[in-house]
Structure formats: C-alpha cells, structure tokens
C-alpha cells in the first residue's frame, strides 16, 4: 500500500511541477518581452499620407495581454497634453493596417483608429495608443500601414511608430505558478524519499524473493 502511495505521489507531483514551471516560464517570457526592446520601431511621417510595410517578428504569446502601437513625436505637438487629444489628432489620418505573413497572405486587417482600452505601464500620459491584433501565431510578419489624410500638427516632427507587448496578469501568473512548481517539486521529493525508504525496508518490492517451492 505504501509503495503505491509514494509512487503515485512522486509521479503526479513531478508531472504537476513540470507543468507549473512550464506555465511560469511562458508567462515570464511575456513579461520579459514587455520589458525588452520594441517588437517594431520605424520612422514614419503622419504629416502627409503614406503607404509602407514594416517587417517584425512575433516572439511571445500573452495570456491576457496583447500588443499595441504608439507614436513618438519630437517635438511633440503642443496640444498633445493627454492620450485623448493625441489620438483625436491621429484619427484624422483615416488609416488602415494589415498584417501579412511571409507567404503574402493577409492574416489580419483593421482600421488605424488610435483607440486602446487601457494604458500600458511604460507609456507617458500623452502617448497616442492604438490597439493591435491579439493572438497572432508566433512567426515573422509584415505590417502594412496606409493613410489617406495628413496630420498637419506633425509637420517637421521626427516620428517613430512603435509596436510593443503589453501584459495584464502575466507577472502574477509567472510568480504564482513558480511557487506552485516549487511546492509540487518538494512533494515529489518527499514521494521519492518515501519510495526509496520502502524499497530499503522491503527489497522484494523490486526483487521478488527466490527459493525452491
């Protein structure tokens, strides 16, 4: 009976520990991507209509978070005192965007409407924010951006379009499942010690007794 109890404890706890550590690592990868360099950072000019494509690589899969676009302008227009004002100016560009795969298939398409439902932790109060396409499979893509109207307020300003990851609960998930992984690893260790102790006391568990019958 004890043999099966310790064996089951070891096998099940080991499997759960591996699962928890794997989930923690996946969530931490998203956190690292958020804190790392942008997915895409390119020069653009919204002061006049333009059409262009930019290559990027999607390397992380957020659990609850997503990706977003922002625009850095230097100098920043004087009326960009908050995100709402900045986005209102950029909505004048009437843009479209498409995500294209390496085999030229259009994966996602949508409006460049400069709307994002939450504020990323790393962005200033006046940053214009644009929601991006969630749940893209990992891989290489091209972002096709097309605008039909100019934004005069940006004339003469140095502008960069930036694509970044954003997370919501991934940091907490990584921490919680790392702790659970440690707990299950300890339980698996207890199961292994118990199983070894049982084998030590009862060698016939793995080596049936021999003799003449």
140 compared with 61, residue with greater pLDDT? 140
Architecture of the structural domain at 37-167: Sandwich (2.60)
Q: Where are the alpha helices (DSSP H) in 36-161?
A: 83-90
Residue 142's pLDDT is 96
Residue 61's pLDDT is 84
pTM of the model: 0.78
Is pLDDT above 80 for 120?
A: yes
Mean pLDDT of 128-146: 91
Residue 199's pLDDT is 66
Contacts for 99 with CB less than 8 Å, ≥ 6 apart: 106, 107, 108, 109, 133, 136, 141, 142, 143, 144
Mean pLDDT of 31-59: 92
Which residue, among 80, 45, 49, 67, has the nearest Cα to 157 in the 3D structure?
A: 45
Residue 213's pLDDT is 47
The band of 68, judged by pLDDT with boundaries at 50, 70 and 90, is very high
Query: 133 φ, ψ to 5°?
Result: -80, 120
Is pLDDT above 80 for 7?
A: no
DSSP, res 79: T
Q: Could you tell me the two tokens for 97?
A: 């965007």
């Amino acid at each position: 009976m004890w043999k099966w109890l310790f064996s089951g404890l070891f096998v099940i706890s080991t499997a759960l520990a591996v699962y928890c550590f794997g989930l923690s690592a996946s969530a931490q990868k998203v956190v690292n991507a958020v804190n790392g360099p942008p997915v895409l950072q390119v020069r653009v000019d919204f002061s006049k209509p333009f059409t262009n494509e930019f290559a990027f690589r999607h390397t992380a899969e957020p659990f609850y978070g997503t990706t977003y676009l922002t625009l850095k302008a230097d100098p920043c227009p004087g009326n960009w005192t908050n995100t709402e004002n900045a986005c209102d100016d950029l909505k004048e560009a009437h843009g479209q965007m498409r995500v294209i795969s390496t085999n030229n298939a259009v994966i996602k398409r949508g409006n460049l409407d400069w709307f994002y439902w939450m504020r990323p932790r790393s962005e200033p109060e006046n940053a214009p924010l644009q929601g991006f396409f969630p749940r893209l499979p990992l891989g290489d893509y091209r972002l096709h951006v097309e605008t039909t109207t100019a934004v005069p307020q940006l004339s003469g300003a140095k502008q960069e379009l930036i694509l970044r990851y954003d997370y919501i609960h991934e940091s907490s998930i990584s921490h919680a499942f790392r702790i659970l992984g440690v707990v299950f690893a300890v339980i698996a260790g207890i199961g292994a010690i118990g199983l070894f102790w049982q084998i030590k006391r009862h060698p016939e568990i793995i080596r049936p007794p021999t003799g003449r019958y």
